[in-house]
Structures are given as structure tokens and as C-alpha cells.
Structure 1
Amino acid sequence: MGETLSTLRMRPLVATGVLVLGTIVVLAVAAPLIAPHDPGALAITNRLKPPGGDWWFGTDEFGRDIFSRTLHAGRLSLLVGAGVVLISGIIGILLGILAGFFPRLDTIVARFIDALMAFPDILLAVALVAALGPSLFTVLVALGVVYAPRLARVVRASTLIIRELPYVEAARALGVPTWRIIVRHVLRNLASPILVQCTFIFAYAILAEAGLSFLGLGVNPEIPTWGTMIAGGRYYAGQADWMTVFPGLAIILAALSLQMVGDGLRDLLDPRLGRDL
């Protein structure tokens, strides 16, 4: 706890990231209590109202309150990020350990990882969503597959080092089962790089979901996410800029704060960086 507070004091940008991210999460979780209006309520007489008065962020083409929709959209956007982290984590950790701990599988798995990373992230995501059909589930699966290789490479590189350490060799010599060595000795030492990488994947997933929604390949447009809000507001650019400005700012703040938190975790969990601080 003391090291965490020391890191936050010496890295004001990290402290700012933690504060911003915490605020976004609290607002998203408490959206039903905070939102002044029903995010799905239609009021054509109030369509395209500029920010001010009862409409803090203005209204959209159907008269829906942008502020309320931005709060509720944060819930699903953060859920997409968390879901992608979970899926990519399972796939990435499995592939990374298989490649790093078992030499016979290293070449095959490593080439598979390289093949996935040869495609641009958004292009591979678009291809997967187009093949499976746009929905929340397919977006989660597609982005999980896209970002799994990033984590797999980190896990593989760390596992290659850990498997040669003396205590792992000693465990092998004592006849400890392989699965037990992986769980007790490998995974425990991989916790730090995995945690740091997951914060970056979380940010990438939020941005990618917005990109897919903008292209019409995201979740159902009727479901408010920051990405679908921007996709709907692009038709009113110049006429009602607030429709894209506020959800866009939410995406920027969420992604930037996650990057700051990831940097802070990396500094905190890496002893060498901790000594430098």
C-alpha cells in the first residue's frame, strides 16, 4: 500500500489517470441513479436541442438526452472492454504458456501468433464480425481474438525465462506434475505483465468497439454505447456537433486514463522501475 501511494505521489499523471478512471466507472455504475432522463425516451419536440438548461449535453435527432445516454453507454462500453480482456486473456495466456513452456509447440504456436499479428487489428476485427454477423457477442469474440496475440507474446517471452529458473528445474527434478509447476510457479510470476497488458487491451477494446460501430459493424445501434452514439451523430456533423463531441470525449478520457493506469502498474510491479523512481 505504501509503495502504491508513493508511486501516485511521484507520478501525478498516474494519479490523475486513477482518479479519472475511477470517476468514469462510478458514473457508469450509478447511471440509473444519476441520469436525469430516460436514455431511451423519445421526444421529437426536443430533437437536436443544444446543450443547456434541462439538456446538459443537448439532445439527439430523436430528442433523447445525450447526457443520460452517455452515462448509460459507459456501462456497455466498459462491459465490452472487460469482456474483451477476459476472452483475450484466456486465449493469450493459454497460447503463451503452450509456446513458452513446451519447446515442441513453440514453433507452431509462435507462427500462429505471428500470422494473427500480421493483419491490422481493425481489419481483422472487421473480417471476423462480417463473417459472424454484427452483435455484442461477435464483437467481444472478434476483439478478443484480435488482441489475444498481444498478450500471448508477452506471456511466451516471460515463460521462456521462467521455465529456466532454478526453482522450476528443482520442481521438475522432484517430479512435480507439469500442471502444478505452471499454476504455482509460472502463472504466479506472470501476474504482473499480464495485469499491465490487460489495462492496455481494455483501452484498445473501447476504441475498437467505437470504430466498428462507426463502420456499422458494432452492436445494435439501438443499444447505447459511446461508439454507436458517435456513429449516429456523424450524420449531423456541423448541425449538432454535441452528438459526437461528448461521447467522443468519454472515449478519449477512458482510453487515456487506462493508459496512465497501465503505466503506473508497470512502474509499481517492476522492481527495477520501482528503484528508478
Structure 2
Amino acid sequence: MSITVSAPTESEGRKFVRRLLKRKTVAFGLIVLTVFVLLAVFAPLIAPYAPGKLSIVNRLQPPSLQWFFGTDEFGRDVFSRTIYAGRLSLLVGAAVVTLATVIGVVLGLLAGFFPKLDTPIARVIDAMMAFPDILLAIALVAALGPSLTTVIIALSIVYAPRLARVVRASTLVIRELPYVEAARALGISTPHIMTRHVLRNLLSPVLVQGTFLFAHAMLAEAGLSFLGVGVSPEIPTWGTMIASGRQYIGQADWVTLFPGIAIVLSVLSLQMVGDGLRDMLDPRLRKDL
């Protein structure tokens, strides 16, 4: 008697990751993000100098073996400051995405599941989205006072309505599906239905939207710092580095060039990963892949 042993099937999660990594743009984005995260985590070990170390005699030195990215107007190492600035940008992006997701999911669920709350919440969301993101963020920071915590709170308030709209639209569809109606008929409590049956089916759009919000938050933080309404000027950020070096573009363009490249690469890689996740998780787009 012969016994046939079936090979273990590959898990759905592993298949999804493999399909995702087959896309060159997504693989490139993940590699770039991994590099930025590693540089941020191990900045004290990688950076050759302290980010605030002054050396006036070495001011505006061009890139060399001693100064990889050159020095700024105070003789500070641009390479070290760029690495440390990445830590703050990633921190702001992660904090904003976390807080905005919590606010957006709660508002979107309440608006989409309870018809009585839909109109007032939807009007608030529309009113907030009527303002340009950067102007609303500047107004909130000016009202609360410039600091790292204020920037995170302001950007979270700015970007939460975007996520709330996505969650609300998805909840309006999910609440009418047969399995939700069956759960109601069985007498299952509303909080249980919202968390067990509705929220679980919102993970895909929330995850995709979160990657885009991460990129927008990093870009907005750099914009606020560039305008001087972000974090304290002595804290190295990509925005403050570009702002302080713009008057030396003619004679020392590396002061603004490398922080600018860091912003472009980080935001572009997040957008690439977000596009890949959207294409893989959306059934309508997945059929065309």
C-alpha cells in the first residue's frame, strides 16, 4: 500500500508577500525604506560626528572623504545631520499615522454605521478637507505653539479626515452585507459587530491609506520646518537643513542637496509601497496584474 503525502500549502500571507515583491517598484521602495530605518536606528553608530558639533574653521567644506556630504555654514557635518534628521522624520510619520488612524477609524465607523451621526460627522470632515493641508497645519501649530508634539497633533488632525472618509465609505457598504444583517438578527451586540465584522474588513484600505499618510506626514513636517513653524531650529530636520542652507545654494549647494534627496527618496519609496499594496489588495486592480 502506498501512502501519498501532500506537500504543505504555502500560506496566503507568504504568497501575498512574494507577489508583492515581484513588482520591482515595490521591492525598490522597501529596500530604500529599510535603508532609511536602519540609518535612523543606528545613527549614533553610523554618524561620524555629533549632529550639533560646530567647527567654524571647516564651514562650507565640499563633500570629501572626511566630510561625506560636506559641511554647512557652521561647520557641522551634513551627513551626520541628515541621518539624525531622518530619525525625526520617521518618528513624526509613524506617530501621525498612528494617531490619525485612531481618529479616522473611530469617526469613519461612527459615521458609516450610525445614520444619525453620518450627516454631522460627514459635514465636519468635508469642512476640514476644504482647507489646504499645509495652511490648516500652520494654523493649528500657530494656535498650539511650535514643538514636536504640536506638529504631530496638528498633522494628525489634518490627515485624520482623509482616513475617516475612506473608512466611512467602506463601512456604508459593509453594514448592508448579508453576514452583518445575519449578525444583527442573531442579537449580537453592536460593538461586537463593528469590531468583529466591520473593522476587520477595513484593514486593507486602512493599511493602504496609512502608507500614503506616512509619506504626506513626512513631507508636511519638512514643509513646516522649512517655514520655521515646526520643531525647534536647533533640532536637525530635513526641512530646517534646507531652509538654513538656501542662502548658500550658489556656493555650497550640497547643504540643501542631500537633505532634499533624502526627502524625495523617502516619500517616493512610501508612495511606491502604497501603490503596490493598493493594487494587490483591491480585487478590481488585482485582476489586471
TM-score, L = length of structure 1: 0.97
Alignment coverage as a number of residue pairs = 276
- In 1, the alpha carbon distance for the partners of 2:236 and 2:100 equals 24
Uncovered stretches (5+) of structure 2, i.e. residues with no partner: 1-13
Residue 88 (structure 1) aligned to one of 86, 90, 100: 100
CA RMSD in angstroms comes to 1.0
Shift of residue 235, structure 1, vs aligned partner: 2.6
What secondary structure sits across from 1:276 in the alignment?
coil
Deviation at 1:53, TM superposition (A): 2.3
Question: Could you tell me how far apart the structure 1 residues matched to 2:226 and 2:249 are?
Answer: 14
Q: Distance in 1 between matches of 2:52 and 2:226?
A: 20
* Matching residue of 1:106: 118
Q: Tell me which moved more, 263-272 or 108-117.
A: 263-272
The corresponding residue for 2:18 is 5
How many Å apart are 1:122 and its aligned residue? 0.5
The answer for the alignment partner of 2:201 in structure 1 is 189
Structure 2 Cα separation of the partners of residues 130 and 116 of structure 1:
17
Alignment of 1:1-277 (within 5 A): 1-9=14-22, 11-277=23-289
Question: Larger C-alpha radius of gyration, 1 or 2?
Answer: 2
CA distance in structure 2 between the aligned counterparts of 1:188 and 1:2, rounded to whole angstroms: 20
In 2: Cα distance, 1:124 partner to 1:93 partner: 21
Distance 2:114 2:64 in 1: 61
Amino acid at match of 2:182: A
Deviations 1:231-255 (A, max 9, x none): 2112322122111110110000000
Answer whether contact 1:229 1:247 (CA < 8 A) is retained.
Answer: yes
1:258 is aligned with what amino acid?
L
Query: What letter corresponds to residue 4 of structure 1 in structure 2?
Result: V
Whether contact under 8 Å (2:20, 2:277) holds in the other structure is: no
Q: Alpha-carbon deviations, 1:24-62, whole Å to 9, x = none?
A: 111111111111111111111111111112001001111
Distance 2:187 2:251 in 1: 71
Counterpart of 1:168 in structure 2: which amino acid?
A: V
1:60 aligned partner, one-letter code: D
Contact 1:93 1:152 in 2 (8 A): yes
Contact 1:4 1:268 in 2 (8 A): no
C-alpha separation in 1, matches of 2:148 and 2:56? 28
TM-score, length of structure 2 as denominator length:
0.93
Asked whether the equivalents of residues 55 and 67 of structure 1 are also in contact (C-alpha less than 8 Å), the reply is yes
Q: Distance in 1 between matches of 2:260 and 2:124?
A: 35
Deviating above 4 A after TM superposition, structure 1's stretches of 4 or more consecutive aligned residues are none
Alpha-carbon distance in structure 1 between the residues aligned to 2:251 and 2:136: 34
SS in 2 for 1:264: helix
d(CA) in 1 for partners of 2:211 and 2:225?
A: 22
Deviation at 1:268, TM superposition (A): 2.1
